[in-house]
Amino acid sequence: MNRRKFLKLSLATSTPIVLALGGAVLYSSTARRAPAGSDTVPVARAVTLAPTPACFDEDDVTPSQTEGPYYTPNSPERATLLEPGMPGTRVVLAGSVVDTSCQPVARALLDFWQADDGGMYDNVGYRLRGHQFADDTGRYALETVVPGLYPGRTRHFHLKVQAPNGPILTTQLYFPDELRNQRDGIFRPELLLNVEDQADGSKLASFDFVLNLT
């Protein structure tokens, strides 16, 4: 059984842990800072996450996917993409970054971009765009909204993942049970998120990235 299959089985049976997302916006000396006065919404609630599942040697490497036409470099570093009054269903996307030996990739870079609730991308500023660094155990967490349906595509997140000084993985993540999944020529089931509905109407989505560092 590979790690991806184990994750799907373990989510229903594993003892959950609580991950508290801090309200501060993080910056590094080499990252572009968020513009002064930009709207960021602190994350001040706890969400329940499944523990990182057991790993196995020679695990499946996360597949790469097309970047698409709407990538913008130099996004601000932040843990939430929410802005005041932003419509859409809230979702926390969280998980781990590991290598093929199941070792955590500390301080891995994750760069996210997505459509808004109406299926539109901001190609002028950095709305629903941002990057962060995994912690020393390879864990990451992002608060955002469920992306809307872009014409011709199923619902998805775009992102880049990079170990320190390592190659860049460009990929996409998908939502289960979407009618458009089977009609989207880019969709891959290996990139499906595990999604759980929360009592407050929000969602918790999880995905673990496996990087080939050789």
Report whether pLDDT(55) > 90.
no
Tally of structural domains, the chain: 1
Pick 147 or 7 by higher pLDDT: 147
Question: What's this model's pTM, rounded to 2 decimal places?
Answer: 0.78
Q: What confidence tens digit (pLDDT) does each residue in 13-44 have?
A: 333 333 444 332 332 323 333 343 444 444 44
Q: In angstroms, what CA-CA distances link 54 with 2, 132, 201?
A: 10, 25, 30
- Cβ atoms of 37 and 84 within 8 Å: the answer is no
The domain in which residue 186 lies consists of: 3-211
pLDDT at res. 25: 30
N- to C-terminal Cα distance for the chain? 23
Report whether pLDDT(88) > 60.
yes
Classify residue 13 by its DSSP letter: T
pLDDT-above-70 percentage for the chain: 72
Q: How confident is the model at residue 59 (pLDDT cuts 50, 70, 90)?
A: low
Q: In angstroms, what CA-CA distances link 58 with 72, 105, 170?
A: 33, 16, 21
Q: What is the CATH number of the domain that holds 191?
A: 2.60.130.10
E strand or H helix at 6, and its extent? helix 3-10
Q: What confidence tens digit (pLDDT) does each residue in 134-166 have?
A: 999 999 999 999 999 999 999 999 999 999 999
Q: How confident is the model at residue 187 (pLDDT cuts 50, 70, 90)?
A: very high
pLDDT-above-90 percentage for the chain: 71
Q: What confidence tens digit (pLDDT) does each residue in 96-129 have?
A: 999 999 999 999 999 999 999 999 999 999 999 9
pLDDT at res. 214: 82
Helix (H), strand (E) counts: the chain: 1, 11
